[in-house]
Chain A
């Protein structure tokens, strides 16, 4: 077995990288479009290096190490590392990890952040064996949209309408020339109240557009915006993974409009949207301390799945 580690050649390596990424994490399949999107949207003001591990000339491992523009912290690097399951135990992960550590040494970073699914026992051991410690958890919940019962929420539509609030899709708001900037501002305001466990940095409008609206998973009809007097006061965004499920990217309402069922109504509209495009399953991630949102999801019938552990270790 000849192991070679070299920098990723983009996009030529993408088709083979996909095989590794999807075999290692079949629950959240990557697509070629998404790899292309990530590469094209990258902010090169932040450090990024990607590597592939080839066994006998075939890509079997993928790793990248980078500064996270959104949750940037001086001295912190993030790591992604995946190995094809058929090659687990072949020291490919260790070799990639050591290669990455050697590569970033000149940067004098202090902390390396990584992550693993709660049910990825092997990956968790890989991290703990190398001195990583758990720092945060995000939970995952899923809802089968097909048989969702809207009956208990019939009053909500009327209630919200009576408050002068309309829910419109991103597409329906196309004629509003400020639509994108208004959604950008709203998104940033809503992020202030999310217990994410890390300080976040405001992306530029261009970066936000790249990551949000130009994401191949963004569906203009799955982005539902609450509008009052022409102001955007809340929104939810159902992103479509092309392999057949939706992920909720954000659900939030401005503080002064909370407690009137608006977030619930936004999600209900999202569930209707999921039904309209083939009764797709809906998945969502929430930070463990975000009990309000977790409770709302539980009431709507979302079922908990293994979540995501954020690890850190000193460098």
Chain B
């Protein structure tokens, strides 16, 4: 029975090298970093080293890193924390309509309950945001822009440095020191340049479980001088902005995971791009009435997102699962809300395209043989489901 995991955008397996450095902190090195004795110092030192190692990779200062429980918390802290602390300087926020829900729902909360005005920029049909759209939306009332580095469903890579540049320019011209730029880089961390100086961002979210690190770990980079209102209260940890005893083992693991993916990203990206393209070309070439969602050029090395027209994603997901292939779908049927993928809809395609979308996200363990197996297994499964399906969606809706 095959066991082909193509859902690395959902989460990655823990790298054994990461687990190894974590283990002592789950065992004998159990001290609380806030304790004033030697057991506490062991933990404090470990966290300091982890923070310094991360800061060096991101080219920032160690005191600009806040450890959190993951991507969702980092996004929420960046958006809610910043907006609430700085609302006297403006109440306009810019984001995109295809952000991760951790950003979208935090922003919607501010819009619905706390008097903020939000501009949702729409990506083009290729899943790209034009820096000009951001520049046009900026106004003197804008305090926060949040745009993802790479999209979690379709893997499109946004021109973050360019967008950051134009925000910086606007900030300088109009003298708006409180206008800041946040990016959710969770999907990008393993594959893209994470030099924050070059990205021109003021806040950045990344997390462990997308980079072969432990679940429940993440961080928020916050440029020196930026003030955030905490979401929680009750301790001095992380400068009081994120109180609570630190997850020492998790932080050690996150630092190791970041170090490894960034060190290996050039070779791993090159390897995965070949497999990704083989999978995309293989599916589009062997199965009719399919479309690649998201730009082919500006695309993460590990993301393949294809809509199989006339069939429903959950059904295909289950057929693949039974063949030992684990993927993900934008179909309404697997979401708790029964709403289909907001990302595919944001590209301007109708519900039919979203219902039939499948994401295959590659990773460390993906081999050429895996891709060949998928390409051999997939066509008959799609053919079976199409033979059950009464619909034939007109090309004008999906081509």
Is B a genuine binding partner of A? no
Could you list which residues of chain A lie within 8 angstroms of chain B, going by C-beta atoms?
none
Point out residues on B near A: beta carbons under 8 Å: none
